[in-house]
Structure 1
Amino acid sequence: MRPEVLALFAAACWAISSLFSAPPAQRLGAFAFSRWRMLFASAILWALAVASGGWRSLDPSAFWLLGVSGVIGIFIGDTALFACMNRLGPRRSGVLFACHALFSGVLAWAWLGEVLWGWALLGSSLLVGGVMLAIVWGKRDDESHRWEQTRGRLAVGVALGLLAALCQSVATLMLKPLMSTGIDAVAASAVRMTLALAAHGLLLAAGWPAARARAPVRWKDAWLTFLSAAVAMALGMTLILQAMRHGQAGLVAVLSSVTPILILPLLWLVYRRRPAVGAWSGAVLAVAGTALILR
């Protein structure tokens, strides 16, 4: 598949997983939820890497880069994202996390010398603008769902969302040269996930109170967390790494930022109410931008 298509599939995985993630993340807390999620994802990825033989492509010299990427993108970035979601809900955390497309575009230009131009630049502008429009003006005036409520200080939630977006950009772009060497994407994801899980384990062992679970893990929590790990981390992150191998890093990041657009029909199912006019307008712009990019 074209790298751009893989990026869109990854965005769809993240959109679907957000509905699985919200309930257990709020109940267990961001750290405990992320820790369980990484445990499930590591088991899935290593099973696939061993079954496919992809583990043979791993070079010990690449472990440090995969480890740093995992700590930045998964340990810090994912935990910050779910802490933001617990405070602001999926919709508003989505608009903050979508900023990773902007960060990636700037960093890809600065680090990798990539420049978007022509139809790709126009399409990227429409797509990112559409995503922002869909989320910022995507709430109905009479919406009162608990996912739209603010818990704690708004500024803290915003800072966590932007931190998650920046970590996602840095962690993904730093792997672009490594993925071009032919390393197996599933095996690379398994190493990243395992080392990020180890960092979480060290934090828990250190006795930091925030790292402990807020409540005992129920079977429903475990099942939803497993689904989130399988869809978002085992599949979604592997698709992104595969897309990064053959595609332009900035463009892949822009296309993967359509997650909030794909969340709209899913939230419609949860809210049982149509999204606002702003959400539909943003979705139209995002679809037009995606079409121009794929053109």
Structure 2
Amino acid sequence: MISLFGEAAAFTAALCWASSSMIFSNIGGKAGAQTVNRGRLACSIFCLTILHWILQGQPWPNAITWEQLGWLSLSSVLGLVIGDAMLFQAFVLIGARLSMLLMSTVPIMGAVLAWVLFDETLRPIEITGIACGVGGVLIVILGKKGRPIGLEGRNYAIGILFGFGGAVGQVANLITAKYALIDGYSALSATWIRTLVAVIAMWGLAIILGRVRRTVTACIAPDVGKWLLLGALIGPAIGVWLSMLAVQNANVGIASTLMALPPVILIVYEGLILRKPVGIQAVIGTCLAFGGVTLLFMP
């Protein structure tokens, strides 16, 4: 039952991230990617403080060991700061399709590291589900063939390295967070701490670079602020909290596979809601991925 709860949390986190990604992509063109990134972290710590106050009875955690704080800080730096920065750079250099293709290796790396570090075991049906989930994501992402126009040689290699760096950062984020959650520490408190560390790091960098006023001005614009707050609540706040619940209550390999589904969910959204043509390859990949998700939920 605990494992099922963790898997449900992971899948819901994927839904949250798919929704927030649509919001952030819409406002990113108006305010700038890095500005939105800093703004969403600031909004998310605000949302998390309110959630923590309602659910835990106090606005912030007050019971944590230095060891747990160290693991959560490391998780935040590796995942929310370095990993996300490398992923965004990969988006610029090689585009979203190839970047997400490289990020889809996260479940494989996560499962291997969890096997090595936590002695987690996967049943044959779960291994099959992971394979189907990853395979479906790959089929969807590879729907458009070829590299971005004009991208060759050294720049392409650097972009690939940044993409892998983003994937490694995500895996390191999950693994290090699990060390802090292994004794049943509150996932919401862990999310609050990780987000605060990222806020301090990202806004500290903005202060050094002299970009605080520009960021605040862009984020409070009428056509940006309300959507930024909504996206932060859905994605970095609720989504990340659910991801911590997933890591705490399910195998890392299964949880990371379910949390890798946002690109597939977005394909379904475009095809069924927006009525955009997605192609037979995307349909096959979507069916295969959700078939894998079904296998993960089977007893």
TM range (shorter): 0.7 to 0.9
Match of 2:63 in 1: 58
Match of 1:236 in 2: 239
Superposition TM-score, scaled by structure 2 size? 0.84
Match of 1:221 in 2: 224
Aligned-partner Cα distance in 2 for 1:156–1:225: 31
Q: Give the Å deviation of 1:107.
A: 1.6
**Identical-pair percentage:** 26
> 1:18/1:89 Cα in 2 relative to 1: closer, same or farther (>3 Å)?
farther
Superposition TM-score, scaled by structure 1 size? 0.85
Q: Give the Å deviation of 1:166.
A: 1.3
Q: Give the Å deviation of 1:26.
A: 4.0
Q: Which structure 2 residues correspond to residues 3-152 of structure 1 after superposition, within 5 A?
A: 3-53=6-56, 55=60, 58-61=63-66, 62-86=68-92, 90-137=96-143, 139=144
Asked if the contact 1:86/1:151 (under 8 Å) is kept, the reply is no
User: In structure 2, which of residues 158, 168, 171 is the aligned counterpart of residue 169 of structure 1?
Assistant: 171
Task: Tell me whether 45-54 or 247-256 shows the greater mean CA deviation.
Answer: 45-54
Task: Tell me whether 157-166 or 268-277 shows the greater mean CA deviation.
Answer: 268-277
Match of 1:275 in 2: 278
User: In structure 2, which of residues 261, 264, 288 is the aligned counterpart of residue 261 of structure 1?
Assistant: 264
Aligned length: 288
Task: Tell me whether 217-226 or 1-10 shows the greater mean CA deviation.
Answer: 217-226
Task: Tell me whether 172-181 or 191-200 shows the greater mean CA deviation.
Answer: 172-181
Q: Give the Å deviation of 1:290.
A: 1.4
> 1:10/1:50 Cα in 2 relative to 1: closer, same or farther (>3 Å)?
same
Aligned-partner Cα distance in 1 for 2:168–2:70: 20
**SS of residue paired to 1:2:** helix
Aligned-partner Cα distance in 2 for 1:133–1:114: 28
> 1:36/1:266 Cα in 2 relative to 1: closer, same or farther (>3 Å)?
same
Unaligned runs of 5+ residues in structure 1 are 142-147
**SS of residue paired to 1:175:** helix
> 1:85/1:154 Cα in 2 relative to 1: closer, same or farther (>3 Å)?
same
Unaligned runs of 5+ residues in structure 2 are none
| RMSD of Structure 2 on Structure 1 (CA) | 3.1
Q: Which runs of 4+ in 1 moved over 6 A?
A: 148-152
Counterpart residue identity of residue 81, structure 1: L
